[in-house]
Structures are given as C-alpha cells and as structure tokens.
C-alpha cells in the first residue's frame, strides 16, 4: 500500500512539473496559429502599395507607412515605446475664465514614434577642381570642368581647400597577413588616391591573389551578396577615421565620361526604363547632425587625363605599381610630393524629420529586452516611377508586425521584454537602427533579430526553399533554434548559415553587432528586381515568407522565455 501511494505521489509530482511546460507549449501554438498567409498578404499589400509612394525617408509616403505600422502595433496590443509628448485634453488650449482654477498640466504621453532630425544633402551649383603642381619657380594649376573631367559626391557641408595628395595603394590593412598600405602615412587633411580591388586582384593566378582574396560567401548566401553589393563603391571608413578630406579611386577600364554625355538620344529604351528624357534619379544623402562640423569625405570620379596630370613628373605608373604589388606582395604607398588638389564644392541641404516606429510587449523582466526589427523605408518616387519595395523591405516589416500579432495571441507575458521596431533611413546608411542603438528603449539589449528581404528568390533554378541566416558566433542558440524548428515542423528550407564574430554588412543588424550585441538575420534571396521600380507584391513567394516569419516567431518565443545567465 505504501509503495502504491508513493507511485501515485510521484506520478502526481511529475504531472505538476509537466503542467508549466504544457501550458507554455500550448501558448506557443496559439501564437503560431495566428501567423497565416492572409495576415501577411493583407499587411504587405497596403505597405507596398502606391499609397505609400515608395516610403523614402522623410516623405509623406513614409509617414503614411509609419502611421500604419503604429496602428497595427496598437491593434495587436503592444504598448508605445517611442518619445513622450504632451497632449492638451479637449483639443486647443484655452485661457481659464476669470476666477477659475488654472488648468492642470497634462501628463506626458508616450507615442509609438522615436523621432529625430537628419541633414539631407545634395550637390550644390558650384563644383570646381584643379590639380596644382609646385615647380622650382612657382606652381602650375590645371583647372578641370565639372562633368567633363570630374564628378563629385560632396560631403555634408560645402568645402574649399587646397591639400596635398597621397597614394595609399589599395587602402588595405591586413594584420593577419602582415600587410599595411597605410603604414607611415599621414592622411589628415589630404586627398587620397587608391586602387580598386585588393593586392593581386588583377591576376587570379598569382600567390598574392590567393593570399588576399576575400572569403567567398557560402554558396547561395543572398545576405552575403547584398552586403557586398551595398558596401561596394565609395565607402572608405579608414580614410574618414584618419582625417582625409577626399578620395579618388582608380578603376581599370572605367570611363566616367559615359555618364556625362550632354546630347541625349532620341529615346531611352532599356529593360528598366523607357522614355524620351534621361532618368533624373538623384539619391540625396542623409545623416544625423552632430555637434561638430564634419564635412564628410569628398569622393571624386575623374578621367585618365586628370590622373595623368596628378602623376606627371613623378615617375609613377599605377599599372606598373599594381604589377609590382602583385609580384612582391608588399605595399607601394607614398606621398605625391609637390602635388595638390584644389577643390571647391557647395552643398544644398535641409533638415528632415524622420521616425522609427517602436512597440513594446512588456515582459516580467522590464530591464532586459529582445529587439525585433526591419526597415520600412525604401527609395520613394522618381520620374513618375514608384519604387514600391515589396520585398525590400515591406516584407521584413510585415514579418516584425506579424510576430507581434503572434506573441500577443499567446496570451502570456514573456520572461523578457520584447521590442518591435520599424526602422527608418536604412537606405540612407542604417541610420534608424543606428540611432536606436545609441538611444535604446532599455540599455540592456540581449539580442536582435533582423528581417530584410524575406520574400523572394535569387535568380536561378531550385531557389524556392533556399534562405540565409547570418548570426553572431557567440550566439549559437539562434542557429540551434532555427535548425530545430525547421526540422521539427518539416518546413524543408535549405538554410545557409553564416556565423561571424561581429556580423557586418548592409542591413540593420550591423549597428547592434558593432556594439557587441548578438544578432541573427534572415534573408530569402537577392532578386533581380532589387532596388528597381518593379519590386512588386505580385512577385512575392508567400510560402517562403510565411515559413521565415514562423521560424522567427518560434525562435523569439523560446529566447524570450529562457534564462540568459
């Protein structure tokens, strides 16, 4: 009898222990059932519609989109996590009647919007450049014409200067291989000339090429493709950090004059555009205004005769230098003594107010947060074309909103607080997510899930089930969970995992990773319509998008419940 009672007691104890686990799984399943194709279609069809006008940062279309995201956050039951604003009850504030008690000051009310100002800049009307050569008796200045011999991407403020020139090879610092193009060079206040590519890049059969070639992305990894695509051309942080004023990049077999022809053909007819006039698409730069004058790096595209004027009299041949570096594997950087570039640029600028959209599911622990985000901005309108950005990145934004819906449908309070975010100004340089990292909802960010382009295939056959997940090496739990649920639910996704000590690239996980915050980042593919006007809803792979959102939800549910000690 005692033995029987003991067995009954143990069985009851096991049952009691199983109840919390069962309840948690039941809640998780309720959330999972809230993620349907109809839910994501309904949200995406509006967010990527012509009503939002391509959602360029700071435009009416982006404000419509952010209002929509905030309304969905509110509908799903998230609390606002943006700025505080004061509201006067009853509308317009009125003066109290004589003898009446003064009106009480209204309590600050939190909104769904984290607003901040950016400086929007575009080239002004004056762009001048000269190459100055000092001689024994004076100097020689050759003045070149804008869009005949040079074009300029100016900094954030106008600048007039005459500065020395330094050649920096490829601008490469590779401690692992003991190679440093910048060693012993002072770049501060100078114009930099660099070669495109990397040591040995012109000769794939060379030992130098094998030594310095970039690591190839995992086969079929669209996130790696996008990172390389977005980072290519004009981003030289090493030059900015060392105080350079400007950069000229020498690109073999590149003729910039093809972009400057003054006479237009009778008609433009390409696979991306047809019309009687050239497209006037000008992407204006944006950045947060700091407390100091930071003009930014000036980038020049120049003709061969500008290059030849710079090196005239110096016994310098860039083609020969590339060959020398390839053969020796050693830098050949040098100051270009007696040479200077005189530059005068003007900038047209204005202040533009933008906003992130922040919704919060408060957990039992209110000081530690998990951040789920995706950028909702895109490229706007140009020449009557609307760049709807259905895949980039209305899809990722819908993923964020749908996980919010699912988490609220669970009916339980998670252990950790979850912050849901729609980032602004990703297309201008990861600005919205970068601003949040500097001004977070709570200081303790446990991890970040980033959704960017989660609804399309890369070109080629058999792409329907291929996706990529980038993750922090110190955060293998994200990879483990994604693998587990893909297998357990028989989703059949072929996932290219790419771990990194500090994941970078051209998407909104990068500012988090740069601060040492663990990340994981889903991407479905790199379609041919990337950054084109025909990135439309009709091309969405709904099944792939649905699975990626389900995997994100299931992994976040687990991460929000587990111990992070």
> 440 with 368: CB under 8 angstroms?
no
Shared domain check, 172 and 67: no
* pTM score, whole prediction: 0.83
Q: pLDDT > 70: what percent of the chain?
A: 87
- pLDDT number for residue 285: 81
Average pLDDT over residues 336-364: 95
Indicate the residue among 348, 381, 402 that finishes a domain. 348
Predicted pLDDT at 331: 95
Q: pLDDT at position 105, please?
A: 65
35 neighbors 549 (Cβ within 8 angstroms): yes
Average pLDDT over residues 281-293: 75
Q: Judge whether 8 lies within some domain.
A: no
pLDDT value at 213 more than 50: yes
**Does residue 344 share a domain with residue 369?**
no
Verify that 416 and 449 share a domain, yes or no.
yes
Residue 534 has pLDDT above 70, yes or no: yes
Question: Do 37 and 146 have their domain in common?
Answer: no
234 pLDDT higher than 50: no
Q: Residue 15: its pLDDT value, please? A: 44
Are 366 and 319 contained in the same domain?
no
Which among 316, 348, 380 is the end of a domain? Answer: 348
Q: Do residue 343 and residue 371 come from a single domain?
A: no
Is 136 found in the same domain as 205? yes
Count of residues making up the chain: 565
Contact 416, 94 (CB under 8 A): no
Q: How many domains does the chain have?
A: 2
Residue 548 has pLDDT above 90, yes or no: yes
pLDDT class for 233, splitting at 50, 70, 90?
very low
Residues 6+ apart with CB under 8 A from 379: 54, 56, 283, 387, 389, 427, 531
- Under the banding of pLDDT at 50, 70 and 90, the label for residue 287 is confident
More confident residue, 556 or 153: 556
Same domain assignment for residues 320 and 361: no
Beta bridge partners of 288: 118
Residues 198 and 332 in one domain: yes
Residue at which a domain ends, from 294, 323, 348: 348
**Would you say residue 247 lies in a domain?**
yes
Closest CA to 127 of 281, 294, 9, 298: 298
Q: Is residue 270 part of a domain?
A: no
Collapse the DSSP code of 373 into the 3-class scheme (helix H, G, I; strand E, B; otherwise coil) and give the result. strand
Cα–Cα dist 509/393, whole Å: 14
Alpha helices (H) in 107-251, listed in sequence order:
207-212, 222-231, 237-241
492 touches 483 (CB < 8 A): no
Render 432-496 in DSSP notation, one character per residue.
Answer: HHHHHHHS-SSSEEEEEEEE-S-S-PPSSSS-TTEEEEEEETT-HHHHHHHHHHHHHTT---EEE
Domain span at residue 324 reads 121-262+281-348
Once rounded to an integer, what is the mean pLDDT over residues 351-379? 97
Whether residue 550 lies inside any domain: the answer is yes
């Amino acid at each position: 009898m005692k033995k029987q009672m003991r067995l009954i007691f143990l069985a009851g104890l096991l049952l009691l222990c199983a109840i919390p686990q069962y309840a948690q799984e039941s809640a998780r399943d309720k959330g999972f059932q809230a993620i349907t194709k109809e839910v994501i279609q309904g949200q995406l069809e509006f967010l990527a519609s012509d009503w939002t006008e391509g959602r360029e940062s700071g435009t009416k279309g982006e404000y419509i989109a952010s209002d929509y995201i905030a309304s969905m956050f509110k509908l799903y039951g998230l609390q606002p996590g943006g700025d505080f604003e004061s509201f006067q009850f009853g509308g317009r504030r009125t003066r109290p009647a004589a003898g009446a008690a003064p009106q009480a000051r209204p309590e600050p009310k939190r909104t769904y919007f984290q607003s901040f100002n950016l400086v929007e800049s575009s080239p002004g009307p004056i762009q001048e450049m000269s190459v100055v050569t000092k001689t024994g008796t004076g100097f020689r200045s050759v003045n070149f014409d804008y869009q005949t011999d040079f074009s300029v991407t100016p900094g954030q403020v106008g600048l007039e200067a005459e500065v020395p020139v330094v050649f920096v090879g490829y601008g490469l610092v590779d401690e692992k291989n003991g190679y440093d193009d910048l060693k012993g060079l002072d770049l501060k206040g100078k114009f930099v000339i660099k070669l495109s590519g990397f040591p040995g890049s012109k000769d794939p059969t060379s030992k130098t090429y094998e030594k310095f070639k970039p690591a190839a992305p995992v086969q079929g990894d669209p996130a790696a493709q996008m990172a390389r695509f977005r980072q290519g051309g004009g981003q030289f942080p090493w030059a900015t950090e060392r105080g350079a004023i400007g950069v000229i990049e020498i690109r073999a077999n590149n003729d910039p004059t093809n972009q400057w022809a003054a006479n237009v053909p009778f008609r433009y007819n390409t696979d991306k555009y047809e019309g009687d006039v050239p497209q006037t698409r000008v992407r204006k730069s944006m950045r947060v205004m700091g407390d100091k004058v930071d003009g930014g790096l000036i980038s020049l595209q120049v003709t061969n005769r500008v290059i030849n004027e710079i090196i005239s009299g110096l016994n310098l041949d860039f083609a020969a230098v590339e060959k020398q570096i390839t053969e020796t594997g050693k830098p050949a950087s040098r100051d270009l003594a007696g040479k200077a570039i005189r530059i005068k640029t003007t900038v047209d600028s204005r202040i533009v107010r933008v906003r992130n959209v922040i919704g919060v599911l408060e957990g039992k622990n209110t000081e530690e947060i998990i951040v789920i985000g995706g950028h909702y901005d895109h490229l706007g309108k140009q020449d009557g074309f609307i760049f709807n950005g259905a895949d980039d990145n209305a899809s990722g934004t819908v993923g964020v909103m749908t996980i919010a819906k699912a988490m609220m449908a669970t009916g339980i309070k998670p252990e950790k607080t979850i912050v849901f975010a729609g980032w602004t100004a990703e297309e201008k340089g990861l600005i919205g997510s970068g601003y949040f990292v500097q001004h977070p909802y709570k200081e303790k960010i446990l991890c970040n899930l980033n959704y960017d382009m989660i609804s399309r295939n890369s070109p080629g056959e058999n792409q329907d089930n291929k996706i990529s997940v980038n993750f922090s090496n110190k955060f293998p739990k994200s990879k483990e969970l994604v693998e587990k649920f893909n297998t357990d639910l028989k989703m059949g996704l072929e996932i290219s995992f790419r771990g990194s000590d500090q994941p970078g690239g051209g998407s909104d996980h990068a500012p988090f990773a740069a601060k040492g915050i663990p990340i994981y980042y889903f991407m479905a593919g790199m379609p041919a319509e990337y950054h084109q006007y025909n990135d439309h809803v009709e091309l969405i792979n709904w099944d792939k998008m649905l699975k990626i959102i389900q995997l994100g939800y299931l992994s976040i549910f687990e991460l929000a419940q587990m111990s992070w000690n």
